[in-house]
Structure 1
């Protein structure tokens, strides 16, 4: 139940309670006033009738009426003048007094008119209270829906920021708590955006500054005499150059300055080229298709995925090229139609639980690795960034039969040469 419905129900309950309380109060006050007025009028008529009786004049009063209620008779014979409302259909109002030791003078009249007036008043109170309750409930519902929409919009914007859209903002409205929350979320996004931008600039600047000395080191290692020490230094320098290039690639992806150059290519050909320089990798072609994409970036994605599998998994490492059926694609998140699917799987222990929890929700994070493994964590980060740039979908899971599995889905080329998805 959302906040708008809850507020509408609360306002409706409060309005109903207030209307009921006011209605009961008006009913009791009116009923008491009617009865007091009727008793006073009938008592005055009884006194007038008693004077007429004493003067020998006729009156509407009766002496010792047989239908006199027993409670009235018992009280009056003790010398008390009394008025009494006798229940019935219709009710009857009595006034009686003693005129001699054994004689009772009494007047009576129907109380149906007052009863009908009270019933009419009750119906009016019920109608007015119901209308007021409905009107107040509708006003509460409108207010609740407005607040609910604002809260939902704030939550949606916060989710977009959490998903990486750091330029998403909430338009604050009013001066209430929701407006304050919106302002706080905007301030948080601004601060987060500034910190990430500073981090990106520092990362890119460091990587750029390192390129020149690393290039000099590569040149210098080529001048060293052959030997184990030279091989060790050359290997370290090669890894350092790869790390610097990876950091620069991440910086370019973060800055969104990378360009996509699309071509129509066969998916199996891209998969084979991606693993051509890697040993211990098997490429399986279950079904092949064409995809219009940036082949260089697709190959970079697959190379990073296979390298990660070789480094952290166990052989055999397989790259399977397949095509999703229409039913399988419709069961996915976007139902975009049949797509090319490339699965990279190893037979190692699989993704550690802490790393899989991160990549399954927000995607791989740079420099974040599992607590059970070592490395910089840039390989999967670059692969995920390249996939987002291409509009492809990259997912990670542990295969039920064991091992880690990464799945890349590419939109196929349409007959007119354009992709069918993004």
Structure 2
């Protein structure tokens, strides 16, 4: 149940409670006032009838009536003047007092007019209460819907920011807590965007500054005499150079300064070129097609996926082509549950690897960034028969 429905139900419940409380209070006060007035009138008539009885004049009062309630007769014989309401289908109001020779002088009249008046009042109160409840409930519903929409808008904006849309903003409306929440979401987005932009600039600046010394190291290594030490240094320099290029590519993808160059290419040919330098990767073609896309970026995605499968999975690694869809699967233990949860929510984390020392953790980050640039879908999952699987699906407009 959303916030709007909860607010509407709360307002409706409050309206019903208030209407019921007011109705009961008015009923009780009116009933008490009616009974008190009727008792005073009948008691006055009884006193007049007693004077008439003492003067031997005719009066509407009766002596020892047979239908006198037992409780009234008992109270009167105890020396008390009594007014008594006898409830039932036809309510009757009694007034009785003791006269000479311990006789009971009693008056009675129908209490039906007051009962009908009270019933009419109850119907009026019920109708007014129902109408007020409906009106207040409608107002509460409108308020709840508006509140729910504002809260939903703030939540959707926060989700968009979490998905990477740092330009998403909430339009504050009003001065209540939800407006404050909207302003806080906007402030958070501004701060997060500024921090990410600062991190991107630092990453790009560091990578650019490293390119020159790394290039110098590569040149110097080429001048070293052959030997095991030279081979070790050359391997380390190659890894460092690759890391610098990866960091630069991540920085370019983050900045949004790159644009894909669309060309027509055969899907199977791009997959074979992507895995050509990787031993232990087989290509299987289920259905081939020609796509219009940026072949360099597609090949980079597939090369990173296949390389990641070789480093962290187990042979054999298979790249299956099925039209505009490529599935890269290994036969290892699959993605760990915690890593799979991260991949499904916020995407791969930079410089995080499942096995420390086996890579830089930028391969999947670059693959996801390139896929987003191409408008492609990249999904990570564990295959039902075992092993990790990455599925690259090019957009439908790219398939010929």
TM-score (norm 2): 0.93
SS at match of 2:6: helix
Contact map agreement 1:355 1:369 (CA 8 A) in 2? no
Residue 48 to residue 354, structure 1, CA distance change in 2 (3 Å): closer
Distance 1:226 1:97 in 2: 135
> Which secondary structure does the structure 2 equivalent of 1:41 belong to?
helix
Q: Take 2:190 and 2:99, find their aligned partners in 1: how far apart are those partners?
A: 96
Matched, 1:183 2:183: yes
Q: Which moved more, 1:222-231 or 1:295-304?
A: 222-231
* Whole-angstrom CA distance in 2 between matches of 1:346 and 1:77: 106
Aligned to 2:325: 341
Mapped to 2, the partners of 1:90 and 1:371 lie a distance apart of 92
- Answer with 97-106 or 20-29: which moved more: 97-106
- The aligned residue for residue 329 of structure 1 is none
User: Offset at 1:226?
Assistant: 3.1
Match of 2:345 among 355, 361, 377: 361
Q: Retained in 2: the 8 A contact 1:369–1:375? A: yes
- State the Cα deviation string for residues 311-334 of structure 1 (Å, max 9, x = none): 2233222211014xxxxxxxxxxx
Query: Partner of 2:133 in structure 1?
Result: 133
Whole-angstrom distance in 2 between the partners of 1:71 and 1:182: 71
Find runs of 4+ consecutive structure 1 residues off by over 4 angstroms: none
Q: Is the 8 A contact 1:354 1:370 kept in 2?
A: no
Partner of 2:3: 3
CA shift digits 1:99-136 (9 cap, x unpaired): 32143332211110001001111111111122222222
What do residues 35-75 of structure 1 show as CA deviations (whole Å, max 9, x unaligned)?
Answer: 11111111111222222333343332233333333322333
Tell me, in whole angstroms, the C-alpha distance in 2 between the residues paired with 1:107 and 1:354: 90
Secondary structure of the structure 2 residue equivalent to 1:85: strand
Aligned with 1:98: secondary structure? strand
Equivalent residue, structure 1, for 2:43: 43
1:396 aligns to what SS in structure 2? strand
1:364–1:380 CA contact under 8 A, matched in 2:
yes
Change (3 A) 1:314 1:86: closer
CA 1:224 to 1:31, structure 2 compared with 1: closer, same or farther past 3 Å? Answer: same
TM-score (norm 1): 0.89
DSSP 3-state at the match of 2:101: coil
Aligned twin of 1:380? 364
Match of 2:223 in 1: 223
For residue 385 of structure 1, report the CA deviation from its aligned partner: 0.4
Listed as ranges, the gaps of 5+ residues in structure 2 are none
Where in structure 1 are there 5+ consecutive unaligned residues? 324-339
